[in-house]
């Protein structure tokens, strides 16, 4: 079996950056080059001050600092990195299609295809190509067809190695993954050798019992399945949260009671304003599309309901704000604490905050946002992308501030949308004093429970109670 000495990763995003940084740190004998067409992103990864790397992820700067320049490199020279590597990870984005066939559902594979064509064009030696991006089941077939029909007679092995890290805990997830999944051509000796080469890389720090090898289709489909199951749990508990509000049950108590059943388990039962993030929605829509394309309408409808429930939870939360504020928020200042889709990340893709803000802006509220890690430029980009109103209008109606107390001063209501730890450390008495009365607080994350804010005078709404 060929020993891997040079790895190339195409795509320096939330997955490519952290996964390759950890591989480089744990495998000092392998040169790892992460390439991207986004020059700004690569420049940020190479920033002298390691705190300025383009994604906020606890623990990552230290890992990058150790490996960068030693055996971890970030570059825009995609061709050179492909040429040198024996193993190439494709870690580019696979967003939901916004045009044509499968619009709004299918995964857009154009970036994947471009990578495959570039690899085929550049490669002069045999390569192992690893799908790191989340892909529809049977994408490896398309990759193989492109690589084999347009290449220079070079031999390619295609592996699927989906990533299961969660943002905000990426470093710990990568250090100690529950499992590493490697799918490949189990039928041939070359296929098995390629899989073993990748197993060898991970075995530098992951127990072999935790490295699963499967056929390539199982691996591709397992990734979509894992995300669908996780998201389904959140939608399930969110569905119960609405029923709790009507019946006097408390969703936290229900979650605890069912979570102690070892068959159910306690994780992913936190009721919230709705799940966000770049993948849950995209991957379920993709799953629904695949099921439909095989004529499996019952399967498709089953999974689509997870998304429908999530959309309902987001708009239900925003509608509760309007209803509680005497059926109108027009001209009222509403402070949004948190914009990221979860704590400890600066990623905002599909964040519930975007939809809550949009709803409130439609109701003519004056929205003021504070998030400890998300820039104003990103917040406006997210809103502009929705296309509900002009960019000028968004900037007129919504303000982004750098201090939480400024966001809350004179507000009629506060909506807490991300579970940042710092929110629980604020001087809530001071915040209450400076607000309009009654001072409404809508906790979309249930992180202020212990603070007894009702005693200070807040009128508090918590999901699921």
Binding-site partner at residue 269 among ligand NAD, ligand UGA, none, CB < 5 to 8 Å by type: ligand UGA
Find the shortest distance in angstroms from Cβ 181 to ligand UGA.
11
Distance, CA of 255 to CA of 411 (rounded, Å) = 32
Distance, CA of 419 to CA of 109 (rounded, Å) = 33
Mask for 230-249, x = binds ligand UGA (CB under 6 A): x---x---------------
Per DSSP, the residues of 88-99 read EEE----PBP-S
Mask for 305-344, x = binds ligand UGA (CB under 6 A): ------------------------------------xx--
Q: In the window 152-171, what residues touch ligand UGA (CB under 6 A)? A: 163-167
Closest CA to 408 of 329, 335, 460, 356: 335
Q: Toward ligand NAD, which CB reaches closer, 279 or 368? A: 279
Find the shortest distance in angstroms from Cβ 93 to ligand NAD.
4
| Long-range residue pairs from 196-203, CB within 8 A, at least 24 positions apart, any chain | 196/1, 197/1, 197/2, 197/3, 197/4, 197/86, 197/87, 197/128, 198/4, 198/87, 198/128, 198/130, 198/159, 198/161, 200/1, 200/3, 200/4, 201/4, 201/7, 201/23, 201/27, 201/30, 201/87
Find the shortest distance in angstroms from Cβ 66 to ligand UGA.
24
Closest CA to 131 of 149, 119, 123, 122: 119
Q: Using CB atoms within 10 Å of the CB of residue 310, give its burial: 0 to 12 exposed, 13 to 18 middle, 19+ buried.
A: buried
- How big is the site for ligand NAD, counted in residues (CB under 6 A)? 27
Q: In the window 40-69, what residues touch ligand NAD (CB under 6 A)? A: 41
Question: Is 351 among the residues that bind ligand NAD (CB under 6 A)?
Answer: no
Find the shortest distance in angstroms from Cβ 178 to ligand NAD.
13
Distance, CA of 106 to CA of 103 (rounded, Å) = 6
Task: Give the C-alpha distances (Å, rounded to integers) separating 70 from 47, 63, 64, 93, 372.
Answer: 15, 12, 10, 27, 32
Mask for 137-166, x = binds ligand NAD (CB under 6 A): --------------------------x-x-
Interface pick for ligand NAD out of 44, 50, 80, 114 (rule CB under 6 A): 114
Q: Toward ligand NAD, which CB reaches closer, 45 or 156? A: 45
Catalytic residues, by residue number, are 163, 223, 279
Question: Is 270 among the residues that bind ligand UGA (CB under 6 A)?
Answer: yes
- Positions touching ligand NAD (CB under 6 A) are 10-16, 35-38, 41, 78, 91-94, 111, 114-115, 133-134, 163, 165, 167, 278-279
- Positions touching ligand UGA (CB under 6 A) are 134, 163-167, 227, 230, 234, 268-270, 272, 275-280, 341-342
């Amino acid at each position: 079996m060929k020993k891997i000495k040079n790895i190339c990763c195409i795509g320096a995003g939330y997955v490519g950056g952290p996964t390759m940084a950890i591989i480089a740190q744990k495998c000092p004998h392998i040169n790892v080059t992460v390439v991207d067409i986004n020059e700004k992103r690569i420049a940020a990864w190479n920033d002298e001050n390691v705190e300025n790397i383009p994604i906020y992820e606890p623990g990552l700067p230290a890992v990058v600092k150790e490996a960068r320049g030693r055996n971890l490199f970030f570059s825009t020279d995609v061709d050179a990195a492909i040429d040198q590597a024996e193993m190439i990870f494709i870690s580019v984005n696979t967003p939901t299609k916004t045009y044509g066939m499968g619009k709004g559902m299918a995964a857009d594979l154009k970036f994947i295809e471009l990578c495959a064509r570039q690899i085929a064009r550049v490669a002069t030696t045999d390569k192992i190509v690893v799908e790191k991006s989340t892909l529809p089941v049977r994408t490896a077939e398309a990759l193989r067809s492109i690589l084999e029909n347009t290449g220079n007679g070079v031999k390619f092995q295609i592996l699927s190695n989906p990533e299961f890290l969660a943002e905000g805990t990426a470093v710990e997830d990568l250090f100690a993954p529950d499992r590493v999944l490697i799918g490949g051509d189990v039928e041939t000796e070359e296929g098995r050798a390629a899989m073993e080469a990748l197993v060898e890389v991970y075995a530098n720090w992951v127990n072999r019992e935790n490295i699963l090898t499967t056929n390539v289709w199982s691996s591709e489909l397992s990734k979509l399945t894992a995300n669908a199951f996780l998201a389904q749990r959140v939608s399930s508990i969110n569905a119960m949260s609405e029923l709790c509000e009507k019946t006097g049950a408390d969703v936290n108590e229900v979650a605890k009671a069912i979570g102690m059943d070892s068959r159910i388990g306690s994780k992913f039962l936190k009721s919230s304003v709705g799940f966000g993030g770049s993948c849950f929605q995209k991957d379920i829509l993709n799953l629904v599309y695949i099921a439909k394309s095989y004529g499996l309408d019952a399967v498709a409808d089953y999974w689509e309901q997870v998304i429908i429930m999530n959309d309902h939870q987001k708009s239900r939360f925003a509608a509760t704000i309007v209803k509680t504020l005497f059926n109108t928020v027009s001209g009222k200042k509403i402070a949004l604490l948190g914009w990221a889709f979860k704590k400890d990340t600066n990623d905002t893709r599909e964040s519930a905050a975007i939809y809550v803000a949009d709803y409130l802006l439609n109701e003519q509220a004056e929205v003021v946002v504070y998030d400890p890690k998300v820039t104003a430029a990103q917040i406006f980009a997210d809103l502009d992308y929705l296309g509900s109103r002009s960019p000028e209008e968004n900037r007129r109606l919504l303000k982004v501030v750098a201090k939480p107390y400024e966001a809350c001063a004179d507000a009629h209501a506060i909506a807490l949308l991300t579970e940042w730890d710092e929110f629980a450390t604020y001087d809530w008495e001071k915040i209450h004093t400076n607000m309009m009365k009654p001072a409404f607080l809508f906790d979309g994350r249930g992180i202020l429970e212990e603070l007894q804010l009702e005693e200070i005078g807040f009128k508090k709404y918590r999901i699921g109670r």
